[in-house]
Structure 1
Amino acid sequence: MKEDFLHYIWKLRKFDNLNLKTAQNESVTIIKTGDYLELAGPDFFNAHIKIGDQKWAGNVEIHLKSSDWYLHNHEKDPAYENVILHVVWENDTAIFREDNTEIPVLILKNYVSPEMVENYYKLLSPKTWISCEKQIQEIEEFVFKNWQERLFLERLERKSAFVYELLEETNQDWEAVLFCLLAKNFGLNTNGNSFLQIAKSLPFSIIRKESFEAESLEALLLGTAGLLDAEKEDIYFKDLKFKYFFLLHKYQLEKTHVDPVSFFKLRPDNFPTIRLSQLAGLYHKHQNLFSKIIALKSVKNVYELMNVSSADYWQNHYQFDKESPKKAKILSKSFLDLVIINSIIPIQFAYSSTIGESVIEDLIEFMNDVAPEKNAVVEKFNLYGIKSKNAFESQSLLELKNEYCNNKSCLKCAIGLELLKSN
């Protein structure tokens, strides 16, 4: 058993409120349980409780065992001097204030039904992928949908934290922030951090100036990635290398070292050469990309806006000096769906928040038209009957699994609380 279960029971009064007695056999009437702030100090602040004939206003501390008071060194902390009631599951020792008066104790297990405890242990079974895997399908659709919206919002709030970090680093330049986000996204999991380092190491003012020449952008990106360091006979390679060192001299840039990009285990269409060329093509096609991204309202608009391909050279190459069958290297719809999920939606959310607008309903509608991700978590939920029809639902499930299920935070989860309540 964990203390958060006792917090849940106390906060929502999930116990027999009639005929409460302290361990000292005084009657207890709970007028107000107190505010659960989850801050340092006592668990519940400003509680109103009548003990015997005396009405008290103060704080409530909750422990599994009363001896935890000393285990946590509360006797040395002045913040606990105003505790009016010690709520415990087991009372194994008396607790005294500094003036030697004993703190009243309520033994909670005497007033909680055995069924509630049994259902709690059943919910937190340690041998399952998620605690509620056998019960999750029982949740009413209304409850589940509302919780998905909250999960999606929490996921966006966490993702936007990274956007705000970039905003500070770029001196509030939203175009530069978008460039960094897109670069990371274009690198996917394998090369995302390397591509982000590339984007950060190139002043976006230079990207703006050189955006009218796609080959110059490609030279900057590939050169910074270290992909132009070797000596090759390939004419296109030599042209890019010349342009790269010319641009270094032109803008008085020092050659930057970033984490090496990888080709290992990647599908050829995801090779860093192809993705960096496509990123260069995107910024060549759109000089004011941020305003266009913020204005996007549908998946169709994204596909139209980002209908770009790599440079002509890459139509029959994946690497320098190695010719391959000709194939157009356009940004696929499945790739652009990931761009929507990981770049477009987060930056729209963060930007709207900074200007005081709420667009969460619009973003949910947007994501309802995006295909769900295909990954192990989404597929596992599918096995338990929770199918994702779109990216809004799959993103919510990822947040649920990573932030709640993995941490066994069932008592902070609407699904867990609903199951406990219904039981």
Structure 2
Amino acid sequence: MSYPVLAQQYALFRDSMYEGVAELPLHGESALTELELQSLWFAGELGSEFTTTCGKRVAVRDFGVWNHAAGPDFTGCAVQTEGGVLKGEIELDPDVRDWERHGHATNPAYERVALHLYLEGPEARAFTRTAGHREVMQVRLSRDMLRDGARPQLLAEARLGRCATPLREMEPARVRSLLEAAAQYRLQRKSAKLQALVKLHGREQAVYQALSAAMGYRNNQRPFTILAQRLPVKKLLKLGALEREALLFGVSGFLESVRYEDTQPDTRAYLRELWSEWWKQREQYTNWLTEVQRPVWRIGGARPGNHPQRRLGALCAMLGKWKGVYAFLKDAKTWSREGFSEALLELEHDYWSGHYTLLANPATKPLALVGGTRVQEILANVCYPLLVPENGKLWADYLELPAMLDNQKVRRAALRLFGEHPEAGSYQKRLYHQQGLLQIYEDYCLEDDSGCAECPFPEKLRGWQFGAV
């Protein structure tokens, strides 16, 4: 079926599962750090329209710029209030009492704060006032405001589920129809997230931010997103290649963490080039180099080729060819899957095409900066979610995309739904198969806390007939 008919039918099917069932809070959710909270806010993941602690409606019309100097977190913002548009800064704290604890109440730099956001607070009301004794509007944020895709997810056990029996009894065409519908629904949700980002920051920045996150793989998507938010693409493109690269590696914290004497001779030459530019800029970014504000890179368990230093090198190479890469994503009319894929696969870098990290020995042979599997991930998570809503005919092209070579989440989902069934492999040959499996797994397996015993999915499956509930 054409886009978005199946997505709509899957949404109805999904909603019917838990009709009348109240959502319980998840146990064991990890606490959000201040930096993660700031990044989620700036991406619009917490929304843009709120009710203040005084009961007044406000809407953030311009999220401004993420401030790298001392002072409020976001500058140049615009907040729509009942009395008109208020221009100024936005401060975001994990706790409302941080305003007083950090001395903002007596600091003139916070005089123009228009909105104070916070996540936690005491039962007794805590007010936000400036050095000039002006009361600042407050909005209390909560995890419930997060879009579904931004919420931390738990992993269900990789064991055979009760749904395996009805799935085994379904005709292959019905199973494929279900997977296509779930994949279409998944793409539609990703599209909504991208379109919200486009609305907030413009199409080019939204594309750059999404591609940056994709470079981070699963473990480092948030740090790469933070870099893209703090150093927007328009700012970076105004710089020369070396200055741009030095800024990215400097703000990431990678230059600070590497001792010159621990590196190889060719790496020392590369570091000298970066530091020759970074030292000129470093002073104005020292606030982002503190322990609280520095991105947290997850390196343990990563394959050598996926080390975040190398992924950042790939991002620098992509920025060097940005005009050609972005040309395919300006709108659906300019799209070419072959052209876009080739543009990424051909990226090269004088240093990073031959090194895994800043501390590793040179590689024995040239290394691809962006491989075929990474291109597939980008097609699934960025390109088609951005373009299919603009041209529904691209859905047919999406259905032809081959499956990604290796994905632990897909393997877990397939084992849960199909077990060792002989047909299981035939439902993992296409990218849309994998995306559909992931969506079903997240919608039901990850939402069920009864050990599969009370999940409504197995019984509801019998009502699925080529997209009809």
* TM-score bin (small chain): 0.5 to 0.7
Superposed, 1:297-336 pairs within 5 Å as: 299-330=337-368, 331-336=370-375
2:397 aligned with 1:377: no
Q: 306, 313, 316: which one pairs with 1:270?
A: 306
Aligned partner of 1:137 among 168, 180, 192: 168
Q: CA distance change for structure 1 residues 371 and 143 in 2, over 3 Å: closer, same or farther?
A: closer
Check if 1:240 corresponds to 2:274. yes
Aligned residue runs from structure 1 range 12-91, under 5 A: none
Change (3 A) 1:345 1:246: farther
Deviation at 1:382? 6.1
Letter in 2 for 1:180: Q
Partner of 2:325: 289
Is the 1:299–1:369 contact (alpha carbons within 8 Å) kept by the matching residues of 2?
no
**Partner Cα distance (1:347, 1:340) in 2:** 10
Which residue of 2 is the match for residue 259 of structure 1? 295
CA distance change for structure 1 residues 319 and 141 in 2, over 3 Å: closer, same or farther? Answer: closer
Aligned equivalent of 2:225, options 196, 202, 205: 196
SS of equivalent residue, structure 1 residue 224? helix
1:216 CA drift (Å): 2.9
Moved more, 323-332 or 147-156: 323-332
3-state secondary structure, aligned to 1:188: coil
Deviation at 1:269, TM superposition (A): 0.8
Runs of 5+ unmatched residues, structure 1? 1-34, 41-125
Distance 1:163 1:226 in 2: 28
Task: Give the secondary structure class of the aligned counterpart of 1:311.
Answer: coil
Contact 1:219 1:243 in 2 (8 A): yes
Quote the Cα distance in structure 1 between the aligned partners of 2:178 and 2:358: 50
Query: Could you tell me which of 400, 423, 429 is aligned with 1:368?
Result: 400
In the superposition, relative to structure 1, how do residues 407 and 325 fare at CA in structure 2: closer, same or farther (>3 Å)?
Answer: closer
Corresponding residue for 2:183? 152
- Post-superposition shift, 1:156? 1.4
Aligned partners of 1:410 and 1:417 also within 8 Å: no
1:410 Cα deviation (Å)? Answer: 3.5
CA contact (8 A) 1:404 1:413 kept: no
Report the structure number with the largest CA radius of gyration: 1
How many correspondences in the alignment? 287
Counterpart of 2:351, as a letter, is Y
Q: Which runs of 5+ in 2 are unaligned?
A: 1-15, 22-156, 262-267, 449-454
How far the C-alpha of 1:272 sits from its partner, in A, is 1.2
Counterparts of 2:341 and 2:436, CA distance in 1: 24
Is the partner of 1:229 in helix, strand or coil?
helix
What is the CA deviation profile of residues 177-231 of structure 1, one whole-angstrom value per residue up to 9, with x for unaligned ones?
Answer: 1111111111111111111111111132212223xx4333322221121011145
Structure 1 residues 158 and 413, CA gap change in structure 2 (3 angstroms): farther
Answer whether contact 1:303 1:336 (CA < 8 A) is retained.
yes
- Whether contact under 8 Å (1:299, 1:370) holds in the other structure is no
Residue range with higher mean Cα deviation, 334-343 or 375-384: 375-384
In structure 1, C-alpha distance between the alignment counterparts of 2:339 and 2:385, rounded to whole Å:
17
Residues 1:131 and 1:412: Cα distance change in structure 2 (over 3 Å): closer
Residue of structure 2 in register with 1:398 after alignment: 438
- The correspondence of residues 178-197 of structure 1 with structure 2, limited to 5 A, is 178-197=207-226
Deviation at 1:38, TM superposition (A): 5.9
- Cα offset, 1:136, TM superposition: 0.7
Q: Of residues 366, 375, 383 in structure 2, which corresponds to 1:344?
A: 383
What TM-score, normalized to structure 2? 0.54
How many percent identity over aligned positions? 21
Retained in 2: the 8 A contact 1:282–1:308?
Answer: no
Aligned amino acid, residue 277 of structure 2 = K
Partner-residue secondary structure (3-state), 1:180: helix
Tell me the residue number matched to 2:249: 222
How far 1:175 moved relative to its partner?
A: 0.8
Which of the pair has the greater relative contact order for Cα pairs under 8 Å at 6+ separation? 2
Deviation at 1:322, TM superposition (A): 3.9
Change (3 A) 1:412 1:188: same
Q: Is contact 1:160–1:346 with CA below 8 Å preserved after alignment?
A: yes
- Aligned residues: CA RMSD: 3.4
Counterpart Cα distance in 1 of 2:434 and 2:394 = 17
